[in-house]
Structure formats: structure tokens, C-alpha cells
Structure 1
Amino acid sequence: MLRVQVEICINCTTVTAVQQQVAAACRGGADTVELCSQMELDGLTPKREHIVAARVAFGDRPGLMVMIRPRAGDFCYTSEEVTEMRRQIETAAAAGANGVVFGLLSGQALAVAEMRQLTQWSHSLGLIVTCHRTFDAVANQAEALEQLIEIGVDRVLTSGTPWGSSLPATAGVAQLAEIMRQANNRLEISIGGGLDPHNAPALLAQLPLTAGRLAVHSYSGVLDGEGVSEKKVSRLVQTARRVDDQERRENDPV
């Protein structure tokens, strides 16, 4: 498996637009795509028909991730909203998703019981689980990371900067490195927050890539006037492959 994966976030608006953008991400070489609606609200759960359309465009390859976020605002959910998220996870699985993306808080800490419940439900449906940037909203990330690993979450998305700060991942290098070292290959770290083909190389060069599985996650950094740019995705993928090749050369015995 490639050490550095590339994930492209897709803003789902219409069936046609979803098909076109997922196809562009695929042609550019993306390993995974994450489907969201209403990215102006930081991403909500997409419609079923958009997941189905993305599945067709993505083919039978793994890596189709679906945001599970029933409303805008904070990540503290009522029991009724958790039940709704459970239904949305089931819908995503039935529509062809390979994974789901969610996060729940209790104050400034993970809502561990609810995270466990939804993670177990997702796994029972054959879905992998990503904790989204709710991780960047917790007060104690070291504790939260251990909780996610114990729960069985497969991936975590982070910028290394506080949620709501608008700081890009390039400003969170020190924290990202610490998260990677602590994770130590026990789950995949997906880095997102203003990444594009131009700034990703410098960021990756400062991270301990031998510490484990890593992905770069991009949304606005691969857009052009018509949506996802195949060329920008391709450049980001080429960056990831160069980093991976360099790491292999440096770690292969002579």
C-alpha cells in the first residue's frame, strides 16, 4: 500500500456535478473521495442519489467515503440526532459507500459512548470509519486519539490547528508530527486544511513519514472554476508518489 494516500473532498450539488467531479478525481489518480453536501456549512450528509451517482463514477474500487453530519453547527448531538446519524450510515452503506466520516462531542471531549455505538454500527455494515475534524475541537487531543484507537476508528482527519481558527494545516506542522508519532500506525492520519499541490510538498517534508499511515485531504486546493480539477488532483498525487518513492529509497537496505 502507498504510504501517502490522496483524498479529494467532493461538494455534492447535483447528480451530474457529482459524477463529473468524482470522475475528475479518479482520472487525476485520487485514492479516495469524500462526499459532502453544503460545504459552505463545513459539510453535511449528502443525498442518497448523490452517493449512488458517485459509486457509479468511482467504479468498483474501494475508497468512497461519505460524510455523516445531520446539521450545521457544533458536534454535540441529541439522542434523536444520533439515531438519525445511524440511519444515515445505513443509507450510505446501501447506496455503495465504503466508509463514513463523523464525529461527536460532549463538551470539549469526545462523546465516547456515542462514537463507539456508531463505529460498531458502521463496522457491522462493512464500512470503515473516519473521525472528522471534530478531533480538532477537543481540548485534549492526546487523550482523544487514544480513545479513537480504543474504539476502533480507522482514520482521523486533522489540520493540527484548532477547529474554528481558520488556520491551515501548514500552520499545524508541529502538532501533526506529534499526532503521527503518538498514533504510530495504529490508525491512518488524514491531513486536511488548505492543502494544494503547491504547499503539500513542504508540509510533507516536515513530517515523520515513517511513523505510520498518512493521507492528504484536499477540497478547495484542487478546485477550478468548474469544480474538481483533474490536473490539480494529478499534481497532488504526483507529490504524494514522489514522497513515497523517496521514503522507500531512504529506507531500503543498500
Structure 2
Amino acid sequence: MKLEIAVVSAAGAGVAAAEGANRVELCSSLELGGITPSQGLMEASMEHVDGRLEIHPLIRSRPGDFLYSASDVDTMVHEVRHLLAQGAHGVVVGALTPAREVDVHTIQRLVEAAKEANPEAQLTFHRAIDQSKDPLAALDQLLELGFTRVLTSGHEATAGLGLSTLTTMAERVGHTLQIMAGGGLSLDDIPAMHRAGLSAVHLSAKKTVSTLGEGAISLGANDHSDPTAYTVTDRDIVRAARAKVNALNLETHS
């Protein structure tokens, strides 16, 4: 079983590498579900990981739904090309139609852009699949489109709740596509995911940092939220996840 950590900073990527993660999904604004990281963040993250793990940037030009305009798609095609040219090992993409089916036309454009930039680029379809009408039908389409893996919570709010569907998905694709459990995944969920036959897990492993003090003022939000709060990768969570995955991998090979 592989361990992937979602990170929003070069420091977070470095923590994931130091604690033995296999991959990072690199993005910005995780609190919005994640959007495409900048080229500067990609470059700095590569320096921090120093080849110790794979970096897979999220390609999502805006927050919100997964129904994209022509301009959105053009933007994401450029993002795919630039980030792979910088050395990303693959890209994380997803798009749906208004009927909540895989937007094959958009996905084909993104796949073609990725393969033109790097024929060996890995392709991950993100949790847009959990907003699709039929995740198993979507899975069949992604197999045909040449995807490497799918990040999914099993069509539920959390991976723990979606365990039954995740199991079915893993059985359906066998070794032809990696089903990676993610979305509200807790450390305690990892053994169940392993028993279900899933070959990877994905965690945000984050904690909130705040420097809120007297005199802090909001710079835009009017919801009384902490204007100084931001998230960082929690080293202890990554370390604990790695230990659980190692133990399960040892059981498998003993």
C-alpha cells in the first residue's frame, strides 16, 4: 500500500518526504478543496523533496463544481504543460458534464496535453468521481482513457462511509487501475482500506496554525473567522500514517 499526502507548501512537501510518504498531491487553498499550485510552489517543492518522493500537482483552475467552461479548460491545459515541464511525475485532473458524467472531451484534452509534455506522466482522476452519477460507470471510462489511479471516497462524504463502494471498485479494476482512498480518511480507517484490497491511501494530514491576537483584523471575510489562520502539514500525522501503512505492508509479505 502506498501513502499520498496532500500538501499546500514546499515545507509540507518536505515533511511528507522526510516521513516516508510515497507521493504528494501538491495544491493551493486546500480549504476550498484545492486549486492548481503556482509554478513557484512547484519549483520550491521539488527543491524541498530532493527526489525522495513523487509530486503530482492538482490541476483545478478554480474552486466550486467540476463543470468547466472553454476558458477554464484552456487554462488547465496550460497548467498541465507547465507543471509537467517543471518535473511533476503526473497530474491530478477531473471534469464532469451537467449530467454528472465524466466529461470525456475535456478529459481527453487534458490527457493529450499531459502525454505531449511527458509521455510517462501518471494520470490521477480526483474526487470529481464522487460527484458523478454512477462511479462504477465513470471508472470504466477512466480505464479506457488511460488513467493510472482514481482518488475517491467511494461516492460518500468520507472514505470510511464509502468502504463498500471502494471495495467494489477495487475488485472491478484489479491491478489495471489504482484505487486510492481519500476524503475524510482517518488513521483508524487505513487497516480497513488495506483489507478491502485498496493499494493506496490519501490524507491531508493537516493542522491549523493561528497567530490571532489583539488588533488582528479581517482582510476580506465577513464571517468572523480567524483572519490569521492557515493550515500546515502535521508531521506527527504523516509519521503515524506511514507507521500504519508499513505495518500492514509487513503483514502482507510475512
Pairing partner for 1:128 from 122, 129, 152: 122
2:179 equivalent in structure 1:
189
Question: Which protein has greater RCO, CA pairs closer than 8 Å, 6+ apart?
Answer: 1
1:172: Cα distance to partner?
0.8
1:198: Cα distance to partner?
3.2
Pairing partner for 2:249 from 241, 244, 251: 244
Q: If the length of structure 1 is used for normalisation, what is the TM-score? A: 0.85
Inter-partner Cα distance in structure 2 for 1:182 and 1:82: 30
Inter-partner Cα distance in structure 2 for 1:141 and 1:161: 7
Equivalent runs, 1:37-56 vs 2, <5 Å: 37-56=28-47
Pairing partner for 2:101 from 88, 99, 109: 109
2:159 maps to a residue whose letter is A
1:199: Cα distance to partner?
3.2
Q: If the length of structure 2 is used for normalisation, what is the TM-score? A: 0.85
2:142 maps to a residue whose letter is L
| Aligned-pair Cα RMSD in Å | 1.6
Query: May I ask how many residue pairs the two structures share in their alignment?
Result: 230
Equivalent runs, 1:115-194 vs 2, <5 Å: 115-126=107-118, 127-162=121-156, 167-194=157-184
Inter-partner Cα distance in structure 1 for 2:187 and 2:45: 24
The question of whether the paired residues in 1 share the 8 Å contact of 2:181 and 2:193 is answered with no
Equivalent runs, 1:93-104 vs 2, <5 Å: 93-104=84-95
Q: 1:96 to 1:205 in 2, by over 3 A?
A: closer
Q: Secondary structure at the match of 2:63?
A: coil
1:82 equivalent in structure 2:
73
1:48 maps to a residue whose letter is Q
Structure with max Cα Rg: 2
2:3 equivalent in structure 1:
6
Inter-partner Cα distance in structure 2 for 1:244 and 1:101: 25
- Percent identity reads 29
Runs of 5+ unmatched residues, structure 2: 210-230
Pairing partner for 1:68 from 28, 37, 59: 59
The question of whether the paired residues in 1 share the 8 Å contact of 2:17 and 2:53 is answered with no
- Identify, as 1 or 2, the structure richer in helix: 1
1:15 equivalent in structure 2:
none
Runs of 5+ unmatched residues, structure 1: 12-17, 250-254
